[in-house]
Structure 1
Amino acid sequence: MTDINLADDGMPVWRQMLMGGQMLFVAFGALVLVPLLTGLDPNVAFFTAGIGTLIFQLCTRRQVPIFLASSFAFIAPITFSVQSWGLPATLGGMMAAGLFYVVLSFIIRLRGSGILYRLFPPVVVGPVIMVIGLGLASVAVDMASGDANSSIDPNTSLLLAGVALVTTLAVSTMAGGIFKLIPVICGIGAGYIAALFTGVVDFQPVIDRPWFAVPAFTAPEFNWNAILFMVPVAIAPAIEHIGDMLAISSVTGKKYLEKPGLKNTLMGDGFATSAAAMLGGPPNTTYSEVTGAVMLTKAFNPKIMTWAAIMAIAVAFISKVGGFLATIPTPVMGGIMMLLFGSIAVVGLSTMIKAQVDLSKPRNLVIVSVVLVFGIGNLALSMGEFTLKGVSLCAVTAVLLNAILPHADREDKFQSTGV
């Protein structure tokens, strides 16, 4: 297969920097959503996104042109964990989740990548991803309509959310070129302008912050409740990682699952997530928006992502950026979330459709049904001080049911004998 990267070897440094800045701009909207929604520091998120990308490049010998940043799959678990055990304990749980990726990478080294498909087939991963999105539906609606503690009038809240949502929908479905890759930024921008006209934007956070400051790093603490709650959440993003690698492989014409190999890309993702948690940042993942930008611009040189990472680290020290992001009204973010959380649920559904999961089979129907009810119903199991709830409970349930229930050949045998 042709080595497409050779075409980029002579690219001037100034052009690499320019294209790196463009990649960071594409990732910007999605990058800051997770910290804004979970209460983490956006400046720390920029720093850990840059560091995480560099760690990934180190693990993969800088062969894959991707950018790592905040993972949406962890929004609900982070929110619940922070409320239950506090931010430091939550960071410890996220650090353990990153190490779970690393453990999976070593299993792949020993047993091959097929072991992941056997442990976590689409019938397991699909409904868990759906729970991640659907479980947050009420949060998105509350943000968009304005809760009891909001100082913004409910009608104004719905107006701002509607402007942000409609703009995002319009850009994602009708725009072309670079705009099609940044619908979130366009939606937030339109909602923010509407908020300015309605007079609900408070610029005090920008005024209070200095221009430059060291990001507010937070050290993790280790709490077994938070760790055992957070680790199962990593199952869905770990499987999704394979899809991301297949996508970027398709775009560049290379087989990254073979070289540098899934074992190395998954290890890079894991170490990046653990490093982010050590500093107070959200878990890292590969970004489909950046993959789309790579396809559009033909920027196949991984050095471009190195510059994007360096720029993200530099932006982290501009304190006014975090202050400005704090001025975005909650309803604007709520409008974006209504689309985002629904999209996550659709990804889970699409995972099962593409794999042709047959829901007429009792085994598959039981797994999907139980997982969805447990997740959307917010079931919690408590054993002493330990509580298993939400996405974590769903992931554990799905894996156990997949391991215990008979497969299709045994089902057919039972049905043919009238059992």
Structure 2
Amino acid sequence: MAKKFYDVESRPPWRESIPLSVQHLFAMFSASILVPTILGVNPSVVLFFNGIGTLLFIFITKGSSPAYLGSSFAFIAPSLLIINAQGMGYSYALGGFIASGLVLMLVAGLVYFFGVNWINALLPPAAMGAVVALIGLELAGTAAKMGGIVLEEGASVDLTRVAVFLITLMAAVLGSIVLRGFLALIPILLAIIIGYIAAAIVGIVDLTPVQEASWFALPAFSHPTFNWGAMTIILPATLVVISEHIGHQLVTGKIIGRNLIRKPGLHKTLFADGFSTMLSGFGGSVPTTTYGENIGVMAMTRVYSTWVIGGTAVLSILLGFIGKVSALIQSIPPEVMGGVSFLLYGMIGVSGIRLLVDAKVDYNLPRNQALTAIPFITGLSGAYVQLGSVKLTGMALATVVALFLGLLLFVLDKLNLTQDRAALK
């Protein structure tokens, strides 16, 4: 395994902790404020509760699982259905978020009583590697659209914006390869700064929102309204979060060299995620989930410290009160964030491939071919299953398919019906 700069329990000195935390803040910021923007919610309250949720996650897991809890995209479609089609208002969606958080906590209880051996049985390395890789690969298109290299039909390429994307991407790549010492730990932060300067030079940075923003303001807290109809619209999205959560714990564990499913335990991480989501619902925020962007930062920098993640959470809370700084970060053009995300998502994909290599998966066995191929093609094909207003697709659907295949093979093995069973012993 490559040398770690800072392990999970490490506490870097303040002069290093602050820029490392800022780097994670930049990585999550665009995606985390996009969700409330789409739903018409003030981002300040979301940044506040994302930070609170992350600190609670670290406390509940006793600092053994480095993860930042950002805004979940899984709830956008059902929330919009409640707000627009049903005309109920956002407070009704908040009641659904609380119910979803409670379900996550109940699932955590089931995992605690029944254990996690079923994960190893139903997600062998051949399937697990595919699921982990898909976490990054399915996000590749999003990064490409942000960078302006994938366009809507009929749109034309803006070479200026593409140039900013490429400058940022190359700064991140070269920084991770060429830089030494502490600078080698913050290539993403440096790339964002370089990309921002390039964007300002070519005139695509708009500082008007910064000038209009107030220095200090309280987050826009609001209260939930409980309605069974709204809850039934929201709850199917919980399945997406559960699938996503398992995948993220697997890939994070692989990156840091620990089995997070067993320690701190899937029951603790699921409970913490659910508790954070429930708390967000009570305060007017959006549901939370562990963030792939921050996993990508850890994979690239080999800085796994929960102390650093905790610092990011504190910064996020502060941004809920400091309007001008939040607006300044929001002024970073999408081409810049697309440049760093392009690399970060790819690093997550590489982690899945590395899992397959480290596990020495034998692709002479037909089962391993199927366990990798079918989840891969499911996740990348655009296939989906509609559950009410929720679309189960991408990595989440691939995880469900992989679990089904694992269960099928488990049963066939028990019945002695598989011809390659003997080769596994």
Name the residue aligned to 2:349.
345
In structure 2, C-alpha distance between the alignment counterparts of 1:168 and 1:328, rounded to whole Å: 16
Q: Are positions 1:280 and 2:313 aligned together?
A: no
Q: Which amino acid aligns with 1:411?
A: T
Counting aligned pairs with the same residue, the percent is 27
Q: Decide which of 409, 412, 418 is 1:411's aligned counterpart.
A: 418
| Deviations, residues 3-32 of structure 1 (Å, cap 9, x unaligned) | xx9x99xx9xxx987776455324212231
Paired residue for 2:27, among 19, 26, 30? 30
Q: CA deviation at 1:34?
A: 2.0
Q: What is the alpha-carbon root mean square deviation over aligned residues?
A: 4.5
Amino acid at match of 1:127: A
The one-character-per-residue Cα deviations of 1:258-283 (angstroms, maximum 9, x if unpaired) are 77655434433442344346542462
Q: Does residue 237 of the first structure (1) align with residue 245 of the second (2)?
A: yes
Task: Give the deviation of 1:57 after TM superposition.
Answer: 4.2
CA contact (8 A) 1:56 1:265 kept: yes
1:249 and 1:333 map into 2 onto residues whose CA distance is 28
How many Å separate the matches in 1 of 2:401 and 2:260? 32
Instruction: State the one-letter code of the partner of 1:30.
Output: A
Residues in 1 aligned to 2:255 and 2:145: alpha-carbon distance in whole angstroms: 34
Segments of structure 2 that go 5 or more residues without pairing to the other structure are: 1-6, 85-89
SS at match of 1:70: strand
1:144 alignment partner in structure 2: 147
Look up the match of 1:178: 182
Structure 1 residues 219 and 180: alpha-carbon distance in aligned structure 2, compared to 1, 3 A threshold: farther
Displacement of 1:160: 0.6
- 1:129 equivalent in alignment to 2:126: no
Distance in 2 of aligned mates of 1:204 and 1:149 = 30
Is the Cα contact below 8 Å between 1:215 and 1:316 reproduced in 2? yes
* 3-state SS, counterpart of residue 362 of structure 2: coil
1:93-172 alignment, distance < 5 Å: 99=102, 101-145=104-148, 147=151, 154-172=158-176
Equivalent in the alignment of 1:207? 211
1:364 to 332, 345, 368: 368
Q: Does 1:47 align with 2:48?
A: yes
Maintained 8 Å contact 1:93/1:231: no
Alpha-carbon deviations, 1:316-345, whole Å to 9, x = none?
211112311222222222222322332332
TM-aligned CA distance change 1:403 to 1:259, over 3 Å: closer
Distance (Å, rounded) in 1 between the aligned partners of 2:260 and 2:422: 43
Q: Which residue of 1 aligns with 2:4?
A: none
Q: Which moved more, 1:331-340 or 1:153-162?
A: 331-340
- Which range moved further: 386-395 or 397-406? 386-395
Distance 1:171 1:235 in 2: 33
**Aligned counterparts of 1:167 and 1:148: Cα–Cα separation in 2:** 27
Is the 2:122–2:403 Cα contact (8 Å) retained in structure 1?
Answer: yes
Shift of 1:168: 1.0
Q: Distance in 1 between matches of 2:65 and 2:137?
A: 31
- TM-score, normalization by structure 2: 0.73
Taking structure 1 as the reference length, what is the TM-score of the superposition? 0.74
- CA distance in 1: counterparts of 2:372 and 2:77, whole angstroms: 23
How do 1:378-417 and structure 2 match up within 5 A? 378-382=382-386, 387-405=391-409, 406-407=412-413, 410-412=417-419
Query: Is 1:201–1:327's contact at 8 Å kept on the other side of the alignment?
Result: yes
Secondary structure, counterpart of 1:109 in structure 2: helix
> Are the structure 2 counterparts of residues 63 and 399 from structure 1 closer, same or farther at C-alpha, using a change threshold of 3 Å?
closer
TM-fit CA distance, 1:37: 5.0
CA positional deviation for 1:111: 3.1
CA pair 203-308 structure 1, distance change in 2 beyond 3 A: closer
Cα shift at 1:169:
0.9
* Residues 210 and 320, structure 1, Cα contact 8 Å, conserved in 2: yes
Q: Residues 17 and 307 of structure 1 are in contact (CA less than 8 Å); yes or no, is this contact kept in structure 2? A: no
Give the distance between the partners of 1:230 and 1:157, measured in 2 at CA.
37
Tell me how far apart the structure 1 counterparts of residues 216 and 153 of structure 2 sit (CA, whole Å): 32
Maintained 8 Å contact 1:128/1:395: yes
Question: Which stretch has the larger CA shift, 184-193 or 281-290?
Answer: 281-290
Letter in 2 for 1:69: L
Distance 2:420 2:125 in 1: 23
Change (3 A) 1:157 1:291: closer
Distance 2:323 2:68 in 1: 21
2:110 maps to a residue whose letter is: I
Residue 323 (structure 1) aligned with residue 327 (structure 2): yes
**Where does structure 1 lack aligned partners over 5 or more consecutive residues?**
none
Deviation by residue 1:201-258 (Cα, 9 ceiling, x = unmatched): 11121122211122345767845455324523432432532564676687xxxx9887
- Give me the whole-angstrom Cα distance separating, in 2, the residues matched to 1:413 and 1:148: 46
Q: Tell me if structure 1 keeps the 8 A contact 2:255–2:298.
A: yes
Does the 8 Å contact 2:143/2:342 carry over to 1? yes
Q: Which moved more, 1:281-290 or 1:161-170?
A: 281-290
Separation in structure 2 between the aligned mates of residue 116 and residue 354 of structure 1, nearest angstrom: 18
